[in-house]
Amino acid sequence: MPILLIAGKETGELLLSVRGLAWLLVLSVVLSGFGFLLVSDTELSLLDNAQVVYDMAGIITALGCLLALIVGVDTIAGERERGSLVPLLLTTVSRDGILLGKLGGVAVAWVVIYALAAPYLWAVGSTGQNLADGLLGLALLGTPVVLGFGFLGMGLGACLGTARTGLLIGLIVLVLAASPLLLGPSLRQSAVGRAFDAINPFSAAVNAYDAMIIDSLPIAAQVVNLAVTAAWFALALWFARASFHRIAR
């Protein structure tokens, strides 16, 4: 299967090479640093324990989106600059097949991030308060958001001339989307903030984390947030597909 071969190649570059493992090391150091920060804080209450799991779920989602975006841009625009994309386009594999194969690398990287984050979530969620819900929310809502950013990166890499421009635009979009992690609740309660929240997939994910981890609401109550993240995934897939099909050999 050519799609699996492409996915395997992408995954190998991301996870099996020394340079590829470096990002995993940095990721673990970031999560460890967050853990050390929490251990040194003696003022946190039980409520903050749920808050900690929520914060870590948001950080993991943001890191996943960042990785997916960079890999997505590099896998198209970067390969084009290195001259390895054209030979791939000349093979008999369909454009959709190539796109799916390249997404496979992003998806495997996200699975690895998730697996790496699980022990950290377990470690900081010491009381077990809604830890399982946090993991479930991260899987169900984080995954479409992260893979959507992977598609966005591929689309930008395909339709823009250089990887640098694609990365810049993608990072600006990501910073804007991830702003709910930085903005206080009061700013998000304004009319503009609420409107932004309603269409922002990252907001949908963190709002669902908030509801499930802190407020103990069931996943069934997160239908709207799930729909927003699914819509984002579909929109990003459409954008990546349309951009990739327009690449001239």
Partner 1 sequence: MRPWHIAVILTLILEAMPACAGDLSIELAPDAKNPPAPQMGDNLSFHSIIRSNGPTAVDGVIAWLSLVQIDPGREQPVDLEDWSAHKAVTAAALHTGETLEADWPLRLIQAGTYRVVVSAASRDGATLATSPFADFIVREKPVVESRRVLPVAFTIPVLIGMAMLWRR
- Rule CB under 8 A: say whether 224 interacts with partner 1: no
Query: Largest Cα–Cα distance of the chain, in whole Å?
Result: 61
Query: Segment 124-163, which members bind partner 1 (CB under 8 A)?
Result: 124, 126-127
Residue 133 neighbours by CB under 8 Å, 6+ apart: 212, 213, 216, 219
Distance (Å, rounded) from C-alpha 201 to C-alpha 197? 8
Kindly tell me which residue out of 2, 81, 95, 122 binds partner 1, with binding defined by CB under 8 A.
Answer: 122
Closest separation between CB of residue 124 and partner 1, Å?
A: 5
Give per-residue burial for 168-185: e unless 16+ CB within 10 Å, then b: ebbeebbeebbbbeeeee
Closest separation between CB of residue 215 and partner 1, Å?
A: 11
- Rule CB under 8 A: say whether 176 interacts with partner 1: no
One character per residue 89-118, x = contact with partner 1 (rule: CB under 8 A): ---------------------------x--
Closest separation between CB of residue 19 and partner 1, Å?
A: 9
**Residue 94 or 127 with smaller CB distance to partner 1:** 127
Kindly tell me which residue out of 11, 49, 130, 222 binds partner 1, with binding defined by CB under 8 A.
Answer: 49
**Residue 32 or 189 with smaller CB distance to partner 1:** 32
Query: Segment 5-34, which members bind partner 1 (CB under 8 A)?
Result: 16-18, 21-22, 24-25, 28-29, 31-32
Distance (Å, rounded) from C-alpha 230 to C-alpha 169? 22
Select from 59-67, 120-128, 130-138, 175-183 the region that touches partner 1 (CB under 8 A): 120-128
Closest separation between CB of residue 213 and partner 1, Å?
A: 14
Closest separation between CB of residue 171 and partner 1, Å?
A: 25
Closest separation between CB of residue 86 and partner 1, Å?
A: 30
**Residue 32 or 91 with smaller CB distance to partner 1:** 32
CB 128 within 8 A of CB 49: no
Distance (Å, rounded) from C-alpha 77 to C-alpha 130? 41
**Residue 91 or 126 with smaller CB distance to partner 1:** 126
Tally Cβ neighbours within 10 Å of residue 136. Answer: 16
Binding site for partner 1 (CB under 8 A): 16-18, 21-22, 24-25, 28-29, 31-32, 35-36, 38-39, 41, 44-49, 52, 116, 119-120, 122-124, 126-127
